[in-house]
Amino acid sequence: MSLVEQFGPHLPFLRRYARALTGSQESGDSYIRASLTALAEDPSQVSDELPARQALYRFFHVIWGSTGARLERPGGAMTPETRLQALAPIERQAFLLTALEGFQVSEAATILGKTVQQVEELIAKAHTDIEDTLSTKVLIIEDEPVIAADLESLVEELGHEVTGNATTHTEAVAMARANPPGLILCDIQLADNSSGIEAAHEILEELDVPIIFITAFPERLLTGERPEPTYLIPKPFQENTVKAAIGQALFFHPSSESVAAE
Amino acid sequence: MDQQTGGSADDDRARKLRQKRIGDQLRRLYDEVTEEAVPEEFLNLLEQADNSKNKQ
């Protein structure tokens, strides 16, 4: 089987990986070009014992690892792209090969020339680093004390700081103004019959902040005018679902700190 | 079966779920790349590699 037939079908995915890894398509493509040029000069360098996709990624890894792997300290707004670039290169690779490219840990280990245990540690480290960069201040808008306490403890478990627990629209707006949060967890029906959605709208007029609605009445959010950016979690909630939504909301939202610095 | 304490097994599961959610989002962010045509140049380089392989 020719190399065109073996590797050609995997190139679109290698381009996706290279883009995420290097932070831009242009840069990603230039490393693929360098890899393929090296391959054209000496095709015996590539393993013919591995499945084609792994062999291709492994070859790319060797070229990128020796020339391109850098620890970036990006300035400006933190986007998902810049957050990835802030990871140590080998962690970034282990994380992207498994999370983005869907390789098994054992396959990622082969590609990176590491043991399974090393790759597992790298993935865990990447994840801790991502969560560290996402550490932020959280405002909880919730009028039921037990639920507010649950949310508070899970937010703190993730390493975030809770700035306060508002129980009404007015209180929520005042607290957000006094100590601007990087994330808001918001109930929809509040203590004095005021609306969490309206509170959220008012806060969003002044602050670019991701909001996660946690509600027993998700249909109210779906039918009404829905503030962006929002995430929606139905009550009763699973702790893990809330934790995952928090990670997601922060990873994909430009950090308010850098936005303010611009 | 590995005997793990409930806490760390739960933590592990929670961590995996958070990773999976971020992975899903990443794929949404980058997937458009896989829809694009691969640059002709890359396929030419693979053909060159095939040619040099056949000469070896």
Residue among A227, A116, A224, A99 at smallest CA distance from A172: A227
At residue B45, the pLDDT reads 95
Q: Looking at domain A3-131, does it have CATH number 1.20.140.160?
A: yes
pLDDT of residue B2: 42
Q: Which of A1, A13, A15, A45 to mutate to test the interface with B (most CBs of B within 10 A)?
A: A15
Q: Is the peptide bond before A236 cis (omega within 30 degrees of 0)?
A: yes
Q: Can you tell me whether residue A179 is helix, strand or coil?
A: coil
For residue A257, is pLDDT > 80? Answer: no
Q: How many alpha carbons fall within 13 Å on the CB side of residue A165? A: 14
Angstroms from A98 CA to nearest CA on chain B: 8
- Nearest chain B alpha carbon to A44: B53
Please, which residues bridge with residue A189 across strands?
Answer: A195
What's the predicted TM-score (pTM) here? Answer: 0.77
Task: Pick from A1, A5, A6, A7 the residue to mutate for testing the B interface (most B CBs within 10 Å).
Answer: A7
Superfamily of domain A137-259 in CATH is Response regulator (3.40.50.2300)
Task: Evaluate if residue A67 carries a pLDDT over 80.
Answer: no
Q: For residue A230, what pLDDT is reported?
A: 72
Q: Cβ–Cβ of B21/A3 closer than 8 Å?
A: no
Asked if the domains at A3-131 and A137-259 fall in one CATH topology, the answer is no
In this prediction, what percent of chain A has a pLDDT beyond 70? Answer: 89
The model's pLDDT over A129-153, given as tens digits with 9 standing for 90+, comes to 888 888 899 999 999 999 999 999 9
- Over residues B23-44, the mean pLDDT reads 91
Region A165-172: what's the mean pLDDT? 96
The string of pLDDT tens digits covering residues A13-47 is: 999 999 999 988 999 999 999 999 999 999 888 87
Residue A243 contacts residue A158 (beta carbons within 8 Å): yes
Helices A25-41 and A11-22 sit at what angle, rounded to 10 degrees?
A: 130
Number of neighbours of residue B45 by Cβ within 10 angstroms? 23
pLDDT, tens only, A47-65? 788 999 999 999 999 888 8
Domain locations in chain A as residue ranges? 3-131, 137-259
